[in-house]
Amino acid sequence: MGITGLSKTDSINRAVQVYAFLAQQVADGKEVLLRDENGDTEGVHIV
């Protein structure tokens, strides 16, 4: 439950959906970036 209030099963299902989405974006030639509150960005590598 934790932060989201979701069950373990729902959390895993969402994690799989997010992974699939990000993996498809990377496969399509896009980059995944995180931006902090200062505007600095950092690349995320999906393996």
Report yes or no: 13 and 20 within 8 Å, Cβ to Cβ: no
State the pLDDT confidence band at 20, using cuts at 50, 70 and 90.
very high
Q: What is the 3-state secondary structure (H, E, C) of 1-47?
A: CCCCCCCHHHHHHHHHHHHHHHHHHHHCCCCEEEECCCCCEEEECCC
Phi, psi of 32 (to 5 degrees): -105, 120
Predicted confidence band of residue 46 (pLDDT cuts 50, 70, 90): confident
pLDDT of 47:
78
Pairing label, strands 32-35, 41-44: antiparallel
Average pLDDT score over the chain: 92
